[in-house]
Chain A
Amino acid sequence: MDANWIAIAASVLLQSSPLIIAVCGETLSERAGVVNLSLDGSLLLSALAGFVAAYFSSSLLLGFLAAAGVGALMALIVAFGSLALRQSQVAVGFVLTLLGDSLSAFLGQNFTRLPGPWVQRLPIPLLKDIPVLGPIFFNQDLVVYFSLVLVAVTTWWIFHTRPGLELRSAGERPEAAFARGVAVRRLRYWYAVLGGALVGIAGAAYSLDVKIGWAEGHTRGLGWIALAIVIFGGWSPLRGALGVLLFVATRSVISVVLQRSLGESSVVILNALPWLLMLGVLVVVGGRFSEQVLSRLPAALQRPFRGLLRAAPPAALGAELKEG
């Protein structure tokens, strides 16, 4: 492969990692039945918190911890609002988004465009020398490695472990989960907060790694993208991560390759292309077309493929929890 393409692939992976982390976090939360709509505000606020903490302490670890704390707190407010105060998750999340956006602009005034610490590259010996794969996957930094491991771990956790079963049941049919002894309320709190902490880490991954520094509206819009990709990914971390890669890759390829030939003016239109591509994939995957293709397959193959394509949201997503 062309060295140029390898560089692009490595950069796509780096650019994708914060979104992948956020998507995994939100997927966990939504699987438990809590939709945390504050993502966009959370990312901004935690990006700022991460930057400021790391800036003053010169410790990246403290930066990420502060960001995780901020993200977890935002999620806790959404969960508390819905589970204890019985408010709509969507409403609380939406208000928090607006709040996070304005608050980060206000609090971040004195921190714009300051030089801060950033995450160093950490090539993995031996593995980094594998042709093609080495430079793409193993010549990265800890944030990228973390995002990849996170996808594997959350996918395994959700679909192949006993706690994962409980997690999904709380989002699908809380009454049934309760009847089987699942502590639905506690579980929803935990996963919402865990998901929020991951979103916070994603925020810091921007300000300390992928888009180093802080400026007003630093990550604006990316939270909505993550929310959309959770749906696109059918509430599976693996599919979500692929969605992120598809999204970031089309955007990079477009800007790198096409911009050269077409010039600046077309950028705006081209930015919409990843979305169109995603819509296209959704229609093809979820629509009648795939059902027709599927029905031609031998019966033994239909089930696994259908399982792969089937992407219904957790049935009790965002629903109020009734007292048993």
Chain B
Amino acid sequence: MRVELEKISKSFGPVQANRAISLAFEPGLIYGLLGENGAGKSTLMKILSGYQPADSGRILLDGAPQRFRSPLDALAAGVGMLYQDPLDLPPFTVLENYLLGRRGGLAIPRRRAAGELRELGARYGFEVHPHERIEDLSLGERQQLELLRLLSGGARLLILDEPTTGISAAQKELLFNSLRSLARDEGKTLILVSHKLDEVQELCNRAYVLRKGELAGEAELPCPNKRLVGLMFGQLPSRPARPRPEAGPPRLELRGAAVRSPRLRTQPTDLQVGAGEVLGLAGLEGSGQELLLRACAGLLPLAAGELYLSGVPQRRLDYLTARQLGVHYLAAGRLEEGLVSGMTLSEHMALVNPNGLFVDRAASKAQAAERIRQYQVVARPRSRVEELSGGNQQRFLFGLLPPDAQLILAEHPTRGLDLRSSDWIWGQLDERRKQGAAIVFLSAELDEILERSDRIAVFFAGRLSRVLPAGETSVDELGHLIGGGA
């Protein structure tokens, strides 16, 4: 199916997210859609998939103009989209989630549908358990299910909005293999929205680059990364080499610490992080590193062992105490844990500065404006957080970090961020580090871990299996280790 976008424009109030964008997609090819945070990629793709209407412009499928009133309309015409957050129903079972929106009789043919779903999974190489609940699955598994749903719904154009943020390298490999065979063997058109140039180079045949709501250019892939970066940002952001200083006195120490969750119990762990040091936690999602990080923030109780902050033992550390001791935690789920959906940026400022009983609106507005400038957030003090693009949410979340942090615990600090924003975030973290903060972060990007940490702690199946200096290992070795290799 040949897909054309003709002069698509869309604004949200004063923000022009898309400005007369025209693109064409040929069958059987994989396209990359690139652009910095807030460039308008998600907006354009949501228009193409019927989630929201364009202000003006046309969508043509095989030359015929279309009017999509809902994503279901679009899917019926062969356009399916995997959203940045999978649009599924967490309390439903896999089967119910699959059946919602499919036509059929009144009663639910559970047995038959379960068989159908398993078969479909087998065909695309995914393992499916129809009676599990969506909320018990990992992000990668939820994406696979959405993909299956779209394919079974007859999608011939598949749009994937940052599908690899938050999934493991192994799941990514699985996903990419299926995507390749979809394009090659079934002649489907695929659009991959991503910030990861290497991924786009590896998977895609052609790339379109958006900048500030306009089409900045296109490129046949593979091509030099430099060219894509140039199209995205106008100029190459330079990245100063980072000195690796000596670690200062210990900020965080774990002795035989173990944490328990319904799904996993970690082995007793010993770990030390000094002032000015950056420790990266590597491991497949759910290997126990998240649990330990949360325990250090006082969000989970230790099931065993001891925790020291700046040398002081902490019994029954809770989140508020931890905050007072200068421990700051940046959650991965921005809208779930970090930011309050429905509240404006000013109101967030008022939340983190609770001075007395009354909200000083003028002051918090001024602070929000200050943060917006300082952290280069594309928004206004009275924007609600859910209106911000993913990258801008992350930047703003960062702006909420108080200046006196001693220990910063970050889950996926640059998830969903473009190159320039990630560099910027790490620049900020580096500042904090120079002022004596210790930083512990976890990331699914081995590159990021290698490049940004001083030492790396590798987790496998709930156990801290190795601690290595970042200078003495490689992506290959790390990949091997997090997969359980010795």
Contacts and interface: CB of A to CB of B under 8 A. Distances in A.
Contacts of B70: 178-179, 181, 324
Contacts of A312: 91
Interface in A161-210: 161-163, 165-166, 168-169, 172-173, 175-182
A-B pairs with the 7 shortest C-beta distances?
A180-B101, A181-B72, A179-B71, A176-B87, A179-B87, A181-B101, A180-B100
Contacts of A173: 87-90
Given A162-B105, A172-B91, A180 B72 contact: yes
B162 interface: no
Contacts of A166: 100
Contacts of B241: none
Given A163-B106, A324-B70, A182 B101 contact: yes
A176 B88 contact: yes
Given A181-B71, A181-B75, 14 more contacts: A162-B104, A162-B107, A162-B108, A165-B99, A168-B92, A173-B88, A173-B90, A177-B100, A179-B70, A179-B71, A180-B72, A181-B72, A181-B101, A182-B101
Given A162-B106, A169-B92, A181-B70, A324 B100 contact: no
B411 interface: no
Contact of B107 (A160, A176, A182, A315): A160
Nearest to B106: A161
B75 to A, nearest CB: 8
The bracket for how many chain B residues form the interface is: 20 to 34
Given A172-B91, A179-B87, A324-B52, A162 B99 contact: yes
B233 interface: no
B385 to A, nearest CB: 14
B91 A324 contact: no
6 contacts: A172-B91, A176-B89, A179-B70, A181-B70, A312-B91, A324-B52
B51 interface: yes
B96 interface: yes
B225 to A, nearest CB: 34
A179 B51 CA distance: 7
A165 B91 contact: no
A165 B51 contact: no
Nearest to A166: B100
B100 A165 contact: yes
Interface of A: 160-163, 165-166, 168-169, 172-173, 175-182, 312, 315, 324
Contacts of B90: 172-173, 315
Interface string B34-60: 000000000000000001100000000
Interface in B68-107: 70-73, 75, 83, 87-92, 96, 99-101, 104-107
A160 B89 CA distance: 16
A3 B83 CA distance: 63
A275 B313 CA distance: 44
B271 to A, nearest CB: 28
A161 B72 contact: no
B216 to A, nearest CB: 29
A179 B83 CA distance: 10
A324 B49 CA distance: 12
A197 B106 CA distance: 23
Contacts, number: 64
B71 A315 contact: no
B252 to A, nearest CB: 29
A178 B73 CA distance: 11
Contacts of B99: 162, 165
B71 A180 contact: yes
Contacts of B88: 173, 176
A162 B105 CA distance: 7
Contacts of A175: 87
A160 B108 contact: yes
Contacts of A176: 87-89
B107 A161 contact: yes
B82 to A, nearest CB: 11
Contacts of B87: 173, 175-176, 179
Contacts of B96: 165
B100 A169 contact: yes
B91 A315 contact: yes
A178 B108 CA distance: 20
Nearest to B386: A322
A169 B100 CA distance: 8
A166 B51 CA distance: 18
B55 to A, nearest CB: 14
Contacts of A179: 51, 70-72, 83, 87, 101
Given A161-B107, A162-B106, A165-B108, A178 B89 contact: no
B242 to A, nearest CB: 41
Contacts of B51: 179, 324
B105 A172 contact: no
Contacts of B73: 181
A29 to B, nearest CB: 18
Contacts of B105: 162
Contacts of A168: 89, 92
Nearest to B86: A176
A294 B52 CA distance: 45
A293 to B, nearest CB: 14
Contacts of B89: 168-169, 172-173, 176-177
B109 to A, nearest CB: 10
Contacts of A178: 70-71
B150 to A, nearest CB: 11
Interface string B317-347: 0000000000000000000000000000000
A309 B83 CA distance: 32
Interface in B3-58: 51-52
Contacts of A163: 106
Contacts of A182: 100-101
A161 B108 contact: yes
Nearest to B104: A162
A315 B89 CA distance: 10
A176 B71 CA distance: 10
A166 B52 CA distance: 21
A324 B52 CA distance: 6
Contacts of A165: 92, 96, 99-100, 108
A312 B89 CA distance: 13
Contacts of B92: 165, 168-169, 172
Contacts of A315: 90-91
B127 to A, nearest CB: 18
Nearest to A310: B91
Nearest to A178: B70
A181 B74 CA distance: 10
A177 B91 CA distance: 13
